[in-house]
Amino acid sequence: MPLYEHVFLARQDMSGQQVEALVEQMKGTIAAGGGTVGKVEAWGLKSIAFRIRKNRKAHYTLMNIDAPPAAVAEMERQIGLSEDVLRFMTVRVDAHDNEPSAMMQKRDRGDRDDRGPRGDRPFGRDRGDRGDRGDRGDRGPRGDRPRRDDDGASAGREE
């Protein structure tokens, strides 16, 4: 049977137990269609990039599904009818990861040493000190170049 990853966003005013009940309902639909649900990850209540049906946050949930396409289509049909689900996406994959997903992995964002060396620049140094730029030199006098007024128009032009 094909393997799928299914992510859905549930309304922000739902409790965690209600989201779990929604997951159990989806599991029942998949089981009735002859499939199984492997790993289920509740990513929690997170902010979304833009408002969806007057919601600024949503409960994110990931499900690994091993089911025939008809069972997945029936689950998506039922999700589409539910007012509790704001968005969903189902993607067919070659293999499921048994490890936690990227959203569940705890990363220490303060430690930036994983990017490798930065050459001769020390950490925290401002790029404003760029040293002498001898290749530019002075531009010299304006010569016969026309002057510009403050509004960007040429001074020699008359109106």
Residue 89's SS3 state is strand
Q: Give the tens place of pLDDT for each residue, 124-159.
A: 555 556 666 666 666 667 777 777 765 555 555 555
Residue type present at position 22: L
Q: Give the tens place of pLDDT for each residue, 24-77.
A: 999 999 999 999 998 898 888 888 898 888 889 999 999 999 999 999 999 999
Q: What is the CATH number of domain 3-93?
A: 3.30.70.60
Domain spans, the chain = 3-93
Q: Using an 8 Å Cβ cutoff, are 107 and 54 in contact? A: no
**Structure tokens belonging to residue 34:** 């002859």
Through-space distance between the first and last CA atoms of the chain, rounded to whole angstroms = 78
